[in-house]
Amino acid sequence: MSEQKKPKTFVLDTSPLLFDPERVLTSFQDNTVVLPLIVLAELDKLKNHPAKGEKARAVIHRLNELIGRRDIITGIDLPGGGILRVDTDGNYSGDMLPKGLDPNKPDNMIIMTAKAIAKARPETEVILVTNDVSMRIIAKSQGVNAQDYKTGKIPEKIQTGSSTVELGVPDETISLIYQPSYKYGLPLEQAGISSEESSGLNPNACLRLVGKQDGRKALAIFDKNGSRLHLVPKLKNQNERGSGISPRNEEQAFALAMACYQNARIVTLSGRAGTGKSFMALLAGWTLLHSQKQRDFEAKAVETAESGHHDTRMIVFRPTREVGPELGFLPGTLEEKIAPWAQPVWERLNLIASENASGTDHLEALIRAGRIQILSITHLRGATLDNAYIVVDDAQNYDPDEMKTLVTRVGEGARIVLTGDPSQVDTSYLDAYSNGFSHVISKFTGRDMHGHVGLVKGERSPLAELAAEIL
């Protein structure tokens, strides 16, 4: 006879509740879910927090819906099976932890609760569920089985490295794609690319075209619906650059072109610090605000731009997450509150404007006219963002629900560019595979309206490149 499986009891930390308020309590099938009392205290403490408050309140409301008038101490039946109860026994005896671990720290109190339940109920498999890697390691060191909350996470392999596909083409293709007569795209047949070769490419793929005989190169974006190749402008060498900001490598050239490309209504730019992803997104916005005719991509874009209903403003969203200790509530107007997080954007825009013939005076005029705005997601719900070029910077610090809120606000004549580094998440309950930026890449890859560019080469400085590699 096969050994009968033990019933399971899942002890929840605060982090999975904040990550998935709606589903987490009902995600454990017909098993028992336990909330230590300290978790409820943490949720109450967080309910007015500027970043986590909305999530904490959502969990509290969800608990209230589930509990109703029933007894949460003895346990209540959950929809779809399982039991939910709150542990109020106060299993926080300090002798359950080794010296060096503070028994009054919430994380350690939760670990001790799981340990005490496992000791009191040996017939049950007790599992601590937390998104906090350090907490899982400490729990396991104390003999407590701990696991990550996996519901809603994406597969571990997503497109974050270099996104460029190299394709060998006839030598004449390189000459043809630069011809003015093909400024709205070179048909695949004339480019010498077979349907078999193009069938495996994602829509809006970044292509490095290489002449099979002479080795000449050209960069292009693949228009799958139109069966065309759209030329990405050549990189300027140092002598050609003169005034103005321009891409320094192929990846940046693709990023700038993709952000301006009308077929891609949602663009993701991934890369570590210093690769220029945010800079290219802002440079594209600056370019589009100043361009009367977007000659580089598709005829329809020219007509739309001339009608005055396309990319009439640039809106930048940045998460108000803090890397170090939290600063608490900040006084002042909304603009003054988000100023510390907006500063990197203003610095980049000032640099772009100062290198442009129009200068910083024109930047200030655009800001006064409301055509360039830096906003927080806090007051976005219910809004519709029409006729706008939208940049979401540091998108890896938004959770999937926040990202859904942002993307579903995109209205007519608007598109959105997300920049992020999935390996640099500053939100405690998120990681490389649960953040909203990674979710967008995973869910939109292969869709006609999505374009992705992965940037690898650092351009900030040799020191920044070395630090990103070895630290």
- 183-226 tens-digit pLDDT: 899 999 999 999 999 998 999 999 999 999 999 999 999 999 99
Which position has the higher pLDDT, 295 or 405? Answer: 405
pLDDT at 242: 53
Question: What does the domain layout of the chain look like in residue ranges?
Answer: 8-147, 244-470
Query: What percentage of residues in the chain have a pLDDT greater than 90?
Result: 56
Tell me what pLDDT residue 426 has: 86
Q: Inform me whether the pLDDT recorded for 92 exceeds 70.
A: no
User: Of 131, 19, 468, 442, which is closest to residue 268 (Cα–Cα)?
Assistant: 442
pLDDT of residue 160: 61
Q: From residue 102, how far is each of 12, 95, 111, 143 by CA, in Å?
A: 19, 11, 11, 17
Q: Residue 13: what pLDDT?
A: 96
* Sequence letter at residue 306: E
Q: CA-CA distance, 45 to 56, in Å (whole number)? A: 9
Same fold, 8-147 and 244-470: yes
Q: How confident is the model at residue 326 (pLDDT cuts 50, 70, 90)?
A: very low
Which string of DSSP letters, residue by residue, matches 408-447? TTB-TT-EEEEEE-TT---STT--TTTSHHHHHHHHHTT-
| The architecture CATH gives domain 244-470 | 3-Layer(aba) Sandwich (3.40)
Domain 8-147, CATH number (from 3.40.50.300, 3.90.1150.10, 3.40.50.1010, 3.50.50.100): 3.40.50.1010
Neighbours of 184 (CB within 10 A): 18
- Amino acid 395 reads A
> Residue 330 has what pLDDT?
52
Q: What is the pLDDT of residues 350-386, one digit of tens each?
A: 988 888 766 778 888 888 888 999 988 877 777 899 9
User: In 3D, which of 384, 441, 386 has the Cα closest to residue 418?
Assistant: 441
What pTM was computed for the model? Answer: 0.80
The C-alpha atoms of residue 296 and residue 220 are separated, in whole angstroms, by 11
Provide the terminal-to-terminal Cα distance of the chain, rounded to the nearest Å. 53
**pLDDT above 50 for 158:** yes
pLDDT in tens, 75-90: 999 988 899 999 987 6
Q: Mean pLDDT, to the nearest integer, of 229-235?
A: 92
Adjacency order of strands within the sheet including 206-211? 164-169, 206-211, 217-223, 228-232, 186-187
